[in-house]
């Protein structure tokens, strides 16, 4: 009323409305996001599961009689991965410009591995691209299944061990100092386990960040060492010889070697090119060295089994089966049977390890956590003797 009496009137009781985003701002944001996707597409690493799904869908569309460009257009529209959608679009445009499918996917080596591109080349040369893509999809799917089983078997122990480490650190850093202050009033010597825990707690409290920095430094140094050829060879040797998981890693490596070799040979890829791809896909120095030896021996007129028989990494059963396959002209069939055998062995090993690890982890937790609790309550149990100074 005072304002009105002086001739002043408010223009709005609500104040100014917030500014709405115009179409220009939304378009600019969409363009920036699209540009980010475009940049990431060149170095995008496609997960193996998505690659298996893409390969299977592409093979099914080709079997149905659709042209390759139309198949890629359909897959581009239905994929939810925005970065991979750009990859498919660029491949489709490259094919529409007159280039081959294999040359188009080679421009994205992280999205499409050497195995995929080599199989596409073989399919284009033989005229059976749909059939070969179906074989590649089956290979990728079997690899994904085995990887998921291994990860599921490793998830439980890693989670339990991580929880145990976190719990022990909490007890040592936060809980034990409270008991230590209480035990100072006893005026007598504490039991050895209790004294050890108190000293360990004081050490962790004083040097916790230094220990974290030291751990990170060791992790960084090991990563740099493993990146070298000598470090990588040492890592692969230790993994295969590990007491619990070494046998499983060895079987997985043999299964991948046999199935990759069989898939490529059956699709018509030349043997020297097959050995090159197998060496790259194995990610193990043992297989890489064996493939180099096999390639040199085969180029001189030798056979694969002759090198396998002299390499200790390959078990005798595998050597005999490959030799029998060479005698009957069915090496790829024998390799597939070996891969199936080792896949079954891997599943059995994972099941046995899962059943074995669970009681071991329970005992581990009981010993560690229970030992800490018992050590801290031991002076209380002996309170009369400790408080009175009686030994």
* pLDDT attached to residue 218: 92
Same structural domain for residues 80 and 165?
A: no
Q: Is 208 left (phi over 0), alpha (psi -120 to 50) or beta?
A: alpha
| 201 closest CA partner among 232, 170, 244, 242 | 170
Tens digit of pLDDT for each residue in 266-325? 888 888 888 888 888 778 888 888 899 999 988 888 888 888 888 888 888 888 898 898
pLDDT tens for 216-238 read 999 899 989 888 888 888 888 88
- Is the pLDDT assigned to residue 384 strictly greater than 60? no
Residues 314 and 359 in one domain: yes
Residue 387's pLDDT band, with cuts at 50, 70 and 90, is very low
User: 332 and 241 share a domain?
Assistant: yes
Quick check: 249 pLDDT over 70?
Answer: yes
Least confident of 14-18, 92-96, 220-224: 14-18
Return the closest-CA partner of residue 245 out of 356, 367, 363, 362.
356
pLDDT of residue 220: 92
Report whether pLDDT(192) > 60. yes
Considering the domain architecture, whether residues 261 and 369 belong to the same structural domain is answered as: yes
CB atoms within 10 A of CB 104: 22
CA–CA distance, 288 with 300 (Å, rounded to integer) = 19
Scan for tokens 């944001």, then name that residue: 29
Q: Round the CA-based radius of gyration of the chain to a whole number and report it.
A: 32
Any domain includes 8: no
> Please, is 121 exposed, middle or buried when counting C-beta atoms within 10 Å of its C-beta (0-12, 13-18, 19+)?
buried
Is the model's pLDDT at 165 over the cut of 70?
A: yes
Report how far apart, in Å, the C-alpha atoms of 301 and of each of 64, 292, 319 are.
Answer: 42, 15, 18
The confidence score (pLDDT) of residue 13 equals 43
Structural domain for 99, as ranges: 39-112
Tell me whether residue 71 is in a domain: yes
Which range, of 44-53, 186-195, 239-248, 318-327, averages the lowest pLDDT? Answer: 186-195
**Backbone torsions φ then ψ of 288, nearest 5 degrees:** -60, -45
Q: Which helix (H) or strand (E) holds 164?
A: helix 129-170
* 307 and 342 share one domain: yes
Q: Is 342 part of a structural domain of the chain?
A: yes
pLDDT of res. 326: 87
pLDDT tops 50 at residue 53: yes
272 and 391 in one domain?
yes
Q: Indicate if 351 and 262 belong to the same structural domain.
A: yes
159 with 278, same domain? yes
Do 170 and 214 belong to one domain?
Answer: yes
Q: Would 124 be classed as within a structural domain?
A: no
> Which residue bears the tokens 């850093």?
173
Residues 129-141 have pLDDT tens digits of: 888 888 888 888 8
Of these ranges, 143-152, 324-333, 354-363, the one predicted with the greatest mean pLDDT is 324-333
On whether both 157 and 91 belong to a single domain, the answer is: no
Specify the pLDDT at position 148. 84
Within 10 angstroms of residue 223's Cβ, the number of other Cβ atoms is: 10
Q: What is the Cα–Cα distance from 322 to 333, expressed in whole angstroms?
A: 9
Query: How crowded is the C-beta side of 61, counted as CA atoms within 13 Å?
Result: 17
pLDDT band at 17 (very low <50, low <70, confident <90, very high): very low
Does residue 150 fall inside a structural domain? yes
Tokens of 329: 């002209």
What is the average per-residue pLDDT within 97-122?
Answer: 86
Would you place residue 23 in the very low, low, confident or very high pLDDT band (cuts 50, 70, 90)? low
On whether residue 14 sits in a domain, the answer given is: no
**Final residue before a domain boundary, out of 112, 127, 153:** 112
Q: Do 96 and 168 fall within a single domain? A: no
Considering 165-179, 288-302, 357-371, the range whose residues carry the highest mean pLDDT is: 288-302
386 C-beta neighbours (distance < 10 Å), count: 21
> What does the pLDDT read at residue 183?
77
Residue 338 has pLDDT above 80, yes or no: yes
Q: Are residues 45 and 167 in the same domain?
A: no
Asked whether residue 23 is domain-assigned, the answer is no
Q: What does pTM read for this prediction?
A: 0.73
Over residues 18-44, the mean pLDDT reads: 68
Q: Report the pLDDT averaged over residues 121-129.
A: 82
- Averaged pLDDT score across all residues of the chain: 82
Specify the long-range contacts of residues 182-185, CB closer than 8 Å, at least 24 apart: 183/379
The total number of structural domains that make up the chain: 2
Specify if 97 maps to a domain: yes
CATH (domain of 90): 1.20.81.30
Length of the chain: 391
Give long-range contacts, CB 8 A cutoff, 24+ apart: 303-312: 304/331
């Amino acid at each position: 009323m005072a304002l009105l009496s002086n001739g002043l009137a408010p223009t709005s009781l609500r104040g100014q409305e917030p500014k709405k985003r115009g179409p220009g701002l939304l378009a600019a944001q969409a363009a920036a996001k699209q540009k980010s996707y475009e940049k990431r597409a060149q170095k995008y690493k496609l997960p193996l599961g998505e690659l298996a799904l893409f390969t299977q869908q592409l093979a099914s569309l080709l079997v149905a009689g659709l042209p390759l460009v139309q198949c890629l257009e359909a897959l581009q529209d239905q994929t939810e991965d925005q970065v991979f959608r750009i990859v498919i679009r660029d491949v489709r445009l490259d094919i529409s410009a007159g280039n081959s499918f294999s040359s188009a996917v080679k421009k994205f080596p992280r999205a499409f591995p050497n195995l995929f591109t080599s199989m596409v080349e073989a399919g284009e040369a033989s005229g059976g691209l749909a059939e070969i893509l179906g074989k590649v999809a089956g290979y990728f799917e079997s690899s994904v299944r085995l990887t998921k089983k291994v990860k599921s078997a490793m998830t439980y122990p890693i989670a339990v061990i991580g929880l145990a480490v976190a719990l022990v650190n909490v007890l040592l850093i936060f809980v034990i100092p409270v008991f230590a202050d209480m035990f100072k009033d006893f005026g007598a010597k504490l039991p050895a386990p209790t004294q050890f825990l108190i000293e360990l707690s004081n050490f962790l409290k004083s040097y916790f960040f230094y220990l974290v920095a030291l751990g990170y430094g060791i992790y960084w140094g090991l990563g740099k060492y493993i990146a070298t050829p000598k470090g990588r060879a040492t890592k692969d040797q230790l993994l295969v010889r590990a007491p619990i998981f070494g046998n499983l890693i060895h079987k997985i490596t043999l299964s991948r070697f046999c199935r990759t070799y069989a898939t490529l040979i059956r699709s018509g890829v030349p043997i020297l090119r097959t050995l090159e791809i197998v060496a790259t896909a194995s990610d193990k120095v043992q297989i890489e060295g064996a493939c180099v030896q096999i390639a040199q021996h085969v180029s001189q007129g030798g056979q694969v089994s002759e090198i396998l028989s002299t390499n200790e990494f390959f078990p005798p059963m595998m050597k005999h089966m490959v030799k029998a396959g060479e005698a009957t002209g069915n090496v790829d069939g024998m390799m597939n049977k070996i891969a199936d055998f080792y896949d079954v062995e891997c599943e059995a090993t994972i099941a046995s390890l899962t059943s074995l690890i669970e009681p071991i982890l329970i005992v581990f937790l009981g010993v560690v956590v229970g030992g800490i609790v018992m050590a801290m309550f031991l002076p209380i149990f002996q309170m009369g003797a400790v408080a009175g100074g009686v030994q």
